[in-house]
Amino acid sequence: MKLGNYDMDKRLAGYAAIIVIGLAAPWLFPGYKAQMTELWLFIVFALAWDHTGGQMGYNSFGNVVFMGVGMYVCALTQVGLFYSIADYTAARGGGTIFIFDVPDFLLGLALGLPAAAIAAAVVAAVLGSAVLGMRGQYFAICTLGLGIAAGEIAAGWEWIGAGSGMTTPNPPDGLGDINRFLYFLSAALAVATFLTLRWIYTTRLALAINAVRDDEDKAEAMGLPTTRIKVMAWTVSAIFLGMAGGLYGNLKKFIDPVDIAFSGATVGVWMVLMAILGGKGTLWGPVIGAVIFQITKEFFWTYLLGWQRVALGLLIVVIVVFFPQGIMGWVRARYPERFGHRVEPAAGAKGEGARP
Amino acid sequence: MKYLLKSSLVAAAALAVAGTGALAQETVTLGAAVSLTGKYTTDGEHTKRGYDLAVDMINKAGGVKVGDKTYQIAVKYYDDESTPATGAALAERLIAQDGVKFLLGPYSSGLTKAIAPVTEKYGVPMVEANGASRSLFTSGYKYLFAVLSTSEQYLSSAMDLAAEKAAALGKKPEEIKVALAFENDPFSQDVRAGVLDDAKRLGMQIVIDDQLPKELNDMAATLTKVRALKPDVLVISGHAKGAATAVRQISEMKVDVPIVAMTHCDSADVVAKFGAAAEYTLCASQWASTLTYKDNLFGSAADFAKLFNTTYNYEPPYQAAESAAAVMVFADAFQRAGTLDPAKVRDALAATDMQTFYGNVKFDETGKNIAKPMVLFQVLKGEYRVVAPTKWAETEAVVPRPMMGN
């Protein structure tokens, strides 16, 4: 894909605009910082899901496992550095009051987020070796089960608070506006995820991942170590999901094992939806999908209160029926030349011949 | 007490002025996310009705006098679907988008636990009436105030009663066997922690320690174990739905246990729903209409019960009473703060020391009410009768309960 100077300039201008808007957003819409932080994290969720779901063709409904593991590990690190976790999570309260000052809080996050990434990656590598031998709907159902099982385990494990859940450390006053703090951390993570995946998609690994999607048997016959590739791809997703989970826990501030950490029915499905809405298997698709999804979701919650779940359900139906290839897929079918596909006049007249 | 009297006089004067001058009054809006759908629907409804009744009474009495202005109170409600994630999102919405500066609590400790960090983050005072778990009060929150007694006190008197009546069961206290069945949520798990402490203190043995299923609609598995192991005391906590399930299945399966104690029987309305099956059940309660507390808004506890009954056609469970009290605590703090600045109202709340029809309210530095004890009911001839503590006991508890026969 070769770009002319003019296209390159336009692209750079586009990135610059996004960065400027992203930096200014907390001051432009001060009342919506929490929702915008959530949006950045949703972008990470969608991108990470698409890495295996879209690029590799392995539809996982269990990626919440990595998010939840990251959330717990980050919170446990943040607390465990300074207090006994069993006291902190005790249903009876610890008898003491748990206070975190600014250095405590920052150190907790600085160590908690990498720990979350590592833990999620380990879980992905172990689980992946076990379940990535399955294909198609078997894999999808199996991952669905993983999400539910993880929630049940967390809800029964007293050390981490069991069904009582766990609160993340109360941010100290000295930190200033905690929402703004988390907003920029989340934005940075989203940008880092985007750039990393953008780079990965230029490497041979991406070709191998796509080969698995397009014809796994053929890929294997050509000598690709498919299982290893699949585990590697899932682990990469898990790293980002784990860190995003750590931040998501601090954003929500209360980790309920089933409802927030291993929330297969909400975030677990949403990350799939966002990727599909934007366009599976494209770099920008998950980003666009997350933006549209979050805006619509908040819009429904504001103006259709009481019917928000119904509206969301209808949205899902509309997405699947009218945009089976997602927005990016739809745009690509219309304007194939913008995606570097050469279009022969006869074939391209109706926007066909641009199948990805 | 004195300033309450004074403020109600002032309120009456304000009413008179408003009556003659027909002044357009300003409104102070409290926000609340309560469970109108989901597993806590019943208790969520009691909570909302308690809030509504108190708001109504205060407005009828002329509103709240803050500085030299009088305000009407309004409540903006959202449905939290009984899930913590939604509750937290709605609190965020109430504060950041709707501009609400004061929050009333949701129903249940779990929801309160999810919402408290949000109110704390924005410096928005929250007076809550339905989050009793002690784990709420360990984060050093400065904007959280709870008018109710904490969870570990709920069934303490039931356990003491079991020890006292051990002789009637033909046993020594340390021979008493206890079975536990609790919901896996912050409130019930803290009740459980309290019961475990009590059992240890009294030297009793725990023979069953089960979790109720998430949806709280079937505890047959636990009851089968109970039948096999024959404990002397069966303790259950799972909010209104858990209480209803327990009473229904204990009688359906004819499980005979000498002492059955639980939380939330009155909010589940087990007497009206299950009649004789509810008989002799011991119930923990934050409040009873026979208590002798009074205030100038509702009058006595009995007056509140009467008013509630004529308004909603059922006896008020304590969830409604404590919720009404939360609104009164806010109104009182507004008046004393003399401003609607959240930080000043927060300080006024921290200095609260008042009596309401629901009980005394005085907060410790973590924000929990330390001025009010729990009571224990027993269902006797279809009525909730106070059997403990001794100070308010209307009658002697019937222990052991008569066998149903298999």
B264 in the same domain as B326: no
Percent of chain B having pLDDT more than 90?
55
Mean pLDDT (whole number) for A185-209: 92
- Taking residues A265-279, report their average pLDDT: 89
Tell me, what DSSP letter sits at residue B185?
S
Q: Please judge whether B141 and A94 are an interchain contact, meaning their C-beta atoms are less than 8 angstroms apart.
A: no
Q: Are residues B145 and B42 located together in one domain of the fold?
A: yes
Distance CA A334, CA A327 (A): 11
Model confidence at A342, pLDDT cuts 50, 70, 90, reads low
Query: Are the Cβ atoms of A93 and B97 closer than 8 angstroms?
Result: no
Q: Flag whether residue A345 sits within 8 Å of chain B, measured between CB atoms.
A: no
Same domain membership, residue B337 and residue B257: no
Whether B395 maps to a domain, the answer reads no
Expressed as residue numbers, the domain containing B224 is 153-285+375-388
B282-285/B69-79 β-pairing = unpaired
Q: Provide the shortest C-alpha distance from residue A24 to chain B (in Å).
A: 18
Say if residue A147's pLDDT is above 60. yes
Would you call A178 an interface residue with chain B, using a CB distance cutoff of 8 Å?
yes
Contacts of B211 in chain A (CB under 8 A): 156, 163
Q: Between chains, do A92 and B186 touch, taking CB under 8 Å as contact?
A: no
Q: Is B106 on the interface with A (CB under 8 A)?
A: no
Together in a domain, B119 and B176: no
Whether residue B397 is contained in a domain is answered as no
> Å from B7 to nearest chain A CA?
35
Residue A173 in contact with partner chain B when CB distance is under 8 A: no
Q: What confidence tens digit (pLDDT) does each residue in B126-142 have?
A: 999 999 888 888 888 99
Tally of domains in chain B: 2
Which contacts (CB < 8 Å, 24+ apart) does range B270-275 have? B270/B243, B270/B244, B270/B379, B271/B379, B271/B382, B271/B383, B271/B384, B272/B314, B273/B244, B273/B247, B273/B248, B274/B244, B274/B247, B274/B248, B275/B382
Inter-chain residue contact A97 with B89, CB threshold 8 Å: no
Residue B184 lies in a domain: yes
Q: Which of residues 32-91 of B touch A (CB under 8 A)?
A: 78-79, 83-85, 88-89
Assigned domain for B18 exists = yes
Q: Tell me, yes or no, whether B159 lies in a domain.
A: yes
**CATH number of the domain enclosing B14:** 3.40.50.2300
Q: What residue type is assigned to position B369 of the chain? A: N
Is residue B204's pLDDT more than 70? yes
Q: How far apart are CA B45 and CA B36, in angstroms?
A: 6
CA of A301 to nearest chain B CA: how many angstroms apart? 9
pLDDT at A315: 82
Q: Which of A170, A256, A305 sits opposite B140 (nearest CB)?
A: A170
In a domain, B118, yes or no: yes
Q: Verify that B38 and B123 share a domain, yes or no.
A: yes
Contact: A91, B84; criterion CB under 8 Å? no
What is the Cα–Cα distance from A212 to A227, expressed in whole angstroms?
9
Backbone angles phi, psi at A263, to 5 degrees: -90, 75
Q: Are B84 and B110 in contact (CB under 8 A)?
A: yes
Instruction: Please check whether residues B327 and B208 belong to one and the same domain.
Output: no
Does the structure show a pLDDT above 50 at B21?
A: no
Burial of A270 (0-12, 13-18, 19+ CB in 10 A): buried
> Chain B within 8 Å of A162 (Cβ-Cβ)?
yes
- In a domain? residue B70: yes
Asked if A92's CB is within 8 angstroms of B190's CB, the reply is: yes
Q: Judged by CB atoms within 8 Å, which residues 268-287 of A form the interface with B?
A: none
Let me know whether B161 and B145 are in one domain.
no
Using the beta-carbon criterion (under 8 Å), do B121 and A99 form an inter-chain contact? no
Ranges A162-166, B18-22, B358-362: which has the least confidence: B18-22
Q: Is the peptide bond before B389 cis (omega within 30 degrees of 0)?
A: yes
Q: Which of A167, A259, A301 sits opposite B83 (nearest CB)?
A: A259
Same domain assignment for residues B85 and B135: yes
Each residue's pLDDT tens digit, B245-303: 999 999 999 899 999 999 998 888 888 888 888 899 999 999 988 888 999 999 999 99
Chain B residue nearest residue A156, CA to CA: B184
Same domain for B296 and B380, yes or no, is: no
Q: Is B343 on the interface with A (CB under 8 A)?
A: no
Probe site for chain B from A88, A166, A167 (most B CB atoms < 10 A) = A167
A175-196 average pLDDT score: 91
CB-CB under 8 Å, A92 with B134:
yes
Say yes or no: B166 and B254 in one domain.
yes
Closest CA of chain A from B135, distance in Å: 4
B168 and B51, same domain (yes or no) = no
**Residue range A76-130, pLDDT digits in tens:** 999 999 888 888 888 776 667 888 888 899 999 999 999 999 999 999 999 999 8
Whether residue B22 has pLDDT greater than 50: no
Q: Given the cut 0.90, state whether the ipTM is greater than it.
A: no
Kindly report, residue by residue over A224-263, the tens digit of the pLDDT. 898 899 999 999 999 999 999 999 999 988 998 988 899 8
Do B191 and B74 share a domain, yes or no? no
Question: Residue B62 in contact with residue B130, Cβ under 8 Å?
Answer: no
